[in-house]
A and B are shown apart, each in its own frame.
Chain A
């Protein structure tokens, strides 16, 4: 029962984290999110950008679309290292022989 509750928590955590990334990786959704950006090879400005308030808006949107930190390689790598290290430590302590193990009888003559 304890194991299943832990497993359930783990599945919930994984199901929360993994879809967030899988959604970002969906090309269809990527295309949809690009509709509002208007920034790319097929987009160019005419005239002085400073003269046009709408162009300011487009530029601002482009800035906010820069890669978030949690998609950065450095962040993912750090999280991965921390989690794997944590898992390794957990596995070590979780599987380490605890005292007493088995069916033992002991006494101290002190």
Chain B
């Protein structure tokens, strides 16, 4: 009898343990996080008032909206994501909602989720996504997706009901920074390091990773040295996160740094990379096809001509000299104009090409550097070679005197601009153009020069093998040292978008109170020029919901800050107290 009793007890215990261990793993919860509702419109939603009363419900998910969740997957980290499924949810309640989005997810698979919210008129208003989620049904998942206004910027918050304490904050404070660097990792998280903090009145060693799946910040290992105006770019080594190539720049006493490191987010460790470069600053780094290219940089007495290529090998990162510029420079812009071919088997080959634009041949006195002008104003760099490209407006004359001066004034050059490559795919044949914005220009003669912020937005397009033409438009927002990145947009769309972290118009970077942080989006498109009787490219500032392109609830300022664009085409703006996100139109 007693044996029977104890056997029953043992069975009951075994059942208890089994019950506790099964049935509640493999859950996957996606929580959509909304931007700050500045006007408090979301709680007072009135379908009839939309548009007619001027109320804007962009920051809300209201009744009559639709939420579309697209799911992409891949089995191996090295593969490209492929579309897997989608779920369209009609929003039934003004207060919120909850839906099952899929019956099952496949274990041992990487997932990407992208959310689009449209209003009753099918206007896309909010998007957000997350990448690199490895699903294993032995765990439960709780993933946040922050939704940003499409083609507009919002502050990233984990809970908008108490935005002050729930905003994603960097290590800078209200007075902002200059010269920090940031990179979007392959898993969608954002790495940011260094910079000069005006509140701290010091060059920072700090580094953080913003976890975009949980909308949180994690302090990671400091840079090996205090740095600002350094370079940082993603090195794809086949891992889930990739690695970050970071280095060069200046230290606390403006001493130049020649070291470059490879940061591994997984081990939180920096390994020295033997670049073999002289200590230098204001170089540029760009990632093309998984490799990092470091272009130029200024030493105490000269400007580097070298283009280094850093690739991931079986035994770690290795460096090779990719090409030599015709003219050394720093404070320049670099755009990826590589040629991409896909064969009938879907195998992609990338022929790297870098367009190097403007810059200066020295780095001080800051704001009055000597601009690169003349034949080498723009160079096209390919493996082992660099050739100058002539630049001119559509009429064949360099009207803006970017490269070529005349009797009345010297060439202006263009120092510290941003350049973003844009593929116009609305025609049968794709055309790659480069949107160039911001920076500052030398005005007047060489002997009696002043420097002014660039008042124009340019679009450079190739004309033949050795020439560029540019179209220009004036801009309401002038930026002396902007950073910019391409925003994800729909294929074949005639409109393309570039997100700009403008910073301040002031060329002087010593001001502690430079300017409110300005962020905007450029719209690049083809337009018919009636005067010229031909099609040209246009670049213009897109309307924003943010008054004067500033965060209304923040007094934080910035001198200049970096951008980071993830694989979903979402752009993150950094360098100030808060992190801002610009919502993409579509997954690239």
Contact = CB atoms under 8 A, between A and B. Distances in A.
A is bound by B = yes
B135 to A, nearest CB: 10
A39 interface: no
Interface string A49-66: 000000000000000000
B19 A91 contact: yes
A101 B26 CA distance: 9
Contact of A98 (B6, B15, B24): B24
Nearest to B89: A105
B42 A90 contact: no
B61 A107 contact: yes
A35 interface: no
B348 interface: no
B43 A110 contact: yes
Given A10-B10, A83-B12, A87-B15, A103 B102 contact: yes
A7 B18 CA distance: 8
A41 interface: no
B416 interface: no
Contacts of A13: 13
Interface string A71-99: 00000100010011001001100110010
Q: Chain A, interface size: which category?
A: 20 to 34
B9 A90 contact: no
Contact of A90 (B20, B31, B161): B20
B139 to A, nearest CB: 11
Nearest to A14: B10
A91 B101 CA distance: 29
Given A7-B17, A10-B10, A25-B2, A104 B95 contact: no
B339 interface: no
Given A14-B13, A106-B97, A109-B61, A76 B19 contact: no
A90 B27 contact: no
Nearest to B71: A103
A108 B62 CA distance: 10
Q: Chain B, interface size: which category?
A: 35 or more
Contacts of A2: 21
A107 B28 contact: no
Nearest to A86: B16
A43 B577 CA distance: 94
Nearest to A15: B10
B60 interface: yes
Interface in A23-42: 25
B267 interface: no
Contacts of B105: 103
A109 B96 contact: yes
Most buried by B among A80, A87, A95, A107: A107
Contacts of A101: 24, 27
Interface of B is mostly: mixed
A98 B29 CA distance: 12
A30 B448 CA distance: 115
A102 interface: yes
Contacts of A7: 14, 17-18
B30 A106 contact: yes
A76 B99 contact: no
Contacts of A100: 27, 29, 98
Contacts of B13: 10, 13-14, 83, 87
B100 A103 contact: yes
B95 A108 contact: yes
B275 to A, nearest CB: 44
B22 interface: yes
Nearest to B33: A107
A25 B9 CA distance: 18
B209 to A, nearest CB: 25
Nearest to B113: A105
Interface in B365-422: none
B464 interface: no
Contacts of B100: 102-104
B157 to A, nearest CB: 12
Nearest to B29: A100
A110 B95 contact: yes
Contacts of B89: 105
A14 B14 CA distance: 10
Contact of B32 (A80, A94, A95, A105): A105
Contact of A105 (B34, B62, B98): B98
Most buried by A among B18, B87, B161: B18
Contact of B22 (A3, A22, A80, A110): A3
Nearest to B31: A106
A110 B45 CA distance: 12
A41 to B, nearest CB: 26
A46 to B, nearest CB: 39
A60 B42 CA distance: 85
Contacts of B95: 108-110
Contacts of A110: 42-43, 95-96, 160-161
A84 B7 CA distance: 12
A103 B28 contact: yes
A25 B96 contact: no
A10 B14 contact: yes
Interface in A9-23: 10, 13-14, 17-18, 21-22
Nearest to A89: B16
Contacts of A91: 12, 15-16, 19
Most buried by A among B16, B29, B99, B104: B16
B14 A103 contact: no
B67 interface: yes
B9 to A, nearest CB: 5
Contacts of B20: 6, 90, 94
A88 B35 CA distance: 45
Given A87-B12, A109-B62, A80 B5 contact: yes
14 contacts: A3-B22, A94-B19, A103-B100, A103-B105, A105-B30, A105-B98, A105-B115, A106-B31, A106-B99, A107-B61, A109-B34, A109-B94, A109-B95, A110-B43
Interface of A: 2-3, 6-7, 10, 13-14, 17-18, 21-22, 25, 76, 80, 83-84, 87, 90-91, 94-95, 98, 100-110
Q: What 8 A-B pairs come out closest when comparing CB atoms?
A: A107-B32, A94-B19, A94-B20, A106-B98, A3-B21, A87-B12, A108-B96, A90-B16
Interface of B: 2-3, 5-6, 9-10, 12-24, 27-32, 34, 42-43, 60-62, 67, 69, 87, 89, 94-105, 115, 160-161
